[in-house]
Amino acid sequence: MLIRFFKSSFYMQYIVLILLGAGLWLRVYSGPCEISLPGPEAPMFLMLMNLMPDSYVLLSLIGFSLLILQAFLINFVAIRHDLVPKNSLVVAMVFILLMSQSPAAFGLSPLHFAGIFVILAYNRILSSYGTADPTKDIFSAAFLIALASLFHFAAIFLLIILILSLVIFGTFSPRIFLVAIAGVVAVYLYLLVYYYPARTVLHVCELVQPSSCCSPQLFSNSNDKLVDAGFGFHSSSLLLIDAYERMEYQRKKDAAAEYLVCHIGHCNTHLCR
């Protein structure tokens, strides 16, 4: 009966879905617990937590809002790619039920931010099915997966699913593989570039008030090498992609010329007879 209700097309199901999620999250306020922060492998989440209020209730409300947003987003992706019938919220209902089972999912966690980028990445992966040139979708999917890994590093392993989808869809090629790698490297390249302005700010801060600043050893020469390596790897990837495209274009051009010559020769032979 509940599944039949969420398959219906009237708007009351949206209100009931939100009330269902709110009911599952009531235990957050009955027995609140301390939100544990991850390590340095989640830099974007740590940066956002510095901007968040200290109230556990407000953090829980933000986490619940992100959960509802993910539920509607994954339901939209499923409908868009004809995985479920239209005007159905079954996928959103199942998502909320599954994500509200573990006490660790309550409050505000890196999964609430990373999940949004993961769902958008899956949308791009599904959009690449049946397209002649999935370069744009594959780059966007890899870029979104890398963004998700900045909130929850385990999301980087979704690249395995991305590569497997290329094999299953029959679009895997060295060029597409390099496009996926370039999408991941682009995100971490921007992260590494952050060290240049950050080191400058720390240097100025050290000159003005040395006792209140962080140690400049955080931005040592090794970070310069990482940045240079990131630029080099990203540039090399783009050059390899461009070289592969030129080789493919030349190969098709030679094949077309060979076909034209053979066709003209066949016509001349036919006329001579």
Do 84 and 166 reside in the same domain of the chain? no
**Final residue before a domain boundary, out of 47, 77, 108:** 108
Do 139 and 57 reside in the same domain of the chain? no
Residue 216: per-residue pLDDT: 43
Which residue is listed with tokens 């370039």?
182
Residue 219: per-residue pLDDT: 41
Q: Give the list of residues 6+ apart from residue 59 with CB closer than 8 angstroms, or none.
A: 35, 52, 53, 107, 108
Do 33 and 74 reside in the same domain of the chain? yes
Do 102 and 114 reside in the same domain of the chain? no
Do 88 and 126 reside in the same domain of the chain? no
Residue 22: per-residue pLDDT: 85
Mark 185-218 as b/e (b = at least 16 C-beta within 10 Å): bbbbbebbeebeeebeebeeeeeeeeeeeeeeee
What is the reported pTM? 0.69
What is the block-wise mean pLDDT of the chain (273 residues), using blocks of 10 residues?
59 82 77 63 82 80 90 92 83 87 76 92 90 88 92 90 89 88 87 62 52 44 46 50 59 61 58 55
Residue 124: per-residue pLDDT: 92
- The alpha-carbon radius of gyration of the chain (Å, integer) is 26
**Half-sphere CA count of 103, side-chain side, radius 13 A:** 10
Domain containing 10: what range? 1-108
CA-CA distance, 5 to 133, in Å (whole number)? Answer: 40
Contact criterion met (CB below 8 Å) for 219 and 205: no
Do 146 and 182 reside in the same domain of the chain? yes
**Final residue before a domain boundary, out of 57, 76, 108:** 108
CA-CA distance, 255 to 252, in Å (whole number)? Answer: 5
Do 213 and 96 reside in the same domain of the chain? no
CA-CA distance, 262 to 248, in Å (whole number)? Answer: 21
Contact criterion met (CB below 8 Å) for 188 and 237: no
